[in-house]
Amino acid sequence: MDDKLPSTTATILQYYHDMSKLHTDATLLYSFLDDDGRHALILDSTIFHPQGGGQPSDTGFITDVSSSGFKFVVQDVRSKNGIVYHYGVFEKTAEDLKGGAQVLLSVDESRRKLNSRLHSAGHLLDICMGQVGLRHLEPGKGYHFPDGPYVEYKGTVPQAELQNKQKELQFEANNLISSGGKVSVSLYPYEEAAMLCGGALPDYIPKGSTPRIVKLGDFPGCPCGGTHVSNISELVNMKVTQMRTKKGLTKVYYNIGD
């Protein structure tokens, strides 16, 4: 855990700037058993996306540069106080594994692609909400996992309108997918980021920071730390599977095709 480690600077998140990079090298800083008994590796930088923002973590493996000394299977990735913990098991162990060793990182491509598509689909759903007259609903929690992805909105929709709105959302989403559009993700100065997001940023974004903004096509962007597709067309097709309103919240469930 953080309080047991020497002073460590925040892990450099390589995927923040290049989401297409699935193989790279890094420097091992620490290898240890965490409080929960899982083995953890901490590196100076990583291409592994940690679970967060409604997106599952990447998986894959980490080896020494020769791939003969050790192989660490990454099963889970988490971020704590800016430090990324790679949790997993050693398939092959090196007896003299120490901090400072150069290692090779490989992210599972199929899992990353699915996670990215589901996350981008959630952002597309936000856009479609405004296109079908539901702009007054404020996006809240997003769950972009394969087992029933959804976006939760603050506000309600009359029960009598739910079925029609569900159909309209699906129609609008697939129209936008068919048209395609570049998906851009970059860090921006606070003021520029606010303009890209319709004139204002959420309160949780500190003033003076350089937030990471994702934009789908020409639509307003929003702050996001996740991974995404490079073009809306990569979503292929989208199905809005259910729409529920309860206790001042509206949940919209969706899925994507192959």
pLDDT at 100: 85
Are the beta carbons of 74 and 84 closer than 8 angstroms?
no
Instruction: With cut-offs at 50, 70 and 90, classify the pLDDT of residue 6.
Output: low
What is the three-state SS of the chain?
CHHHCCCCCCCEEHHHCCCCCCEEEEEEEEEEECCCCCEEEEECEECCCCCECCECCCCEEEEECCCCCCEEEEEEEEEECCEEEEEEEEEECCCCCCCCCEEEEEECHHHHHHHHHHHHHHHHHHHHHHHCCCCCCEEEEEECCCCCCEEEEECCCCHHHHHHHHHHHHHHHHHHHHHCCEEEEEECCHHHHHHHCCCCCCCCCCCCCCCEEEEECCCCCEECCCCCCCEHHHHCCEEEEEEEEECCEEEEEEEECC
Output the pLDDT for position 2: 54
Task: Select from 57, 56, 14 the least CA-distant residue to 146.
Answer: 56
Buried b (16+ CB within 10 A) or exposed e, 51-74: eeebbbbbbbbbbbeeeebbbbeb
Reported pTM: 0.93
- Quote the percentage of the chain above a pLDDT of 90: 86
Cβ-contact 232, 183 below 8 angstroms: yes
* Residue labelled with tokens 């598509």: 117
CA distance 89 to 82: 23
Question: Could you count the other beta carbons within 10 Å of the beta carbon of residue 160?
Answer: 7
Which pLDDT does position 9 carry in this prediction? 86
- Among 63-67, 79-83, 173-177, name the one with the lowest average pLDDT: 63-67
pLDDT tens readout for residues 17-31: 999 999 999 999 999
What is the chain's mean pLDDT, rounded? 93
Confidence grade of residue 245 (pLDDT, cut at 50, 70, 90): very high
Q: What is the pLDDT of residues 14-71, one digit of tens each?
A: 999 999 999 999 999 999 998 888 999 999 999 999 999 999 999 999 998 876 678 9
Statement: residue 4 has pLDDT above 70: no
pLDDT at 105 over 90: yes
- Determine what percent of the chain is predicted with pLDDT higher than 70: 95
Please write the tens of the pLDDT for every residue from 114-163: 999 999 999 999 999 999 999 999 999 999 999 999 999 999 999 999 99
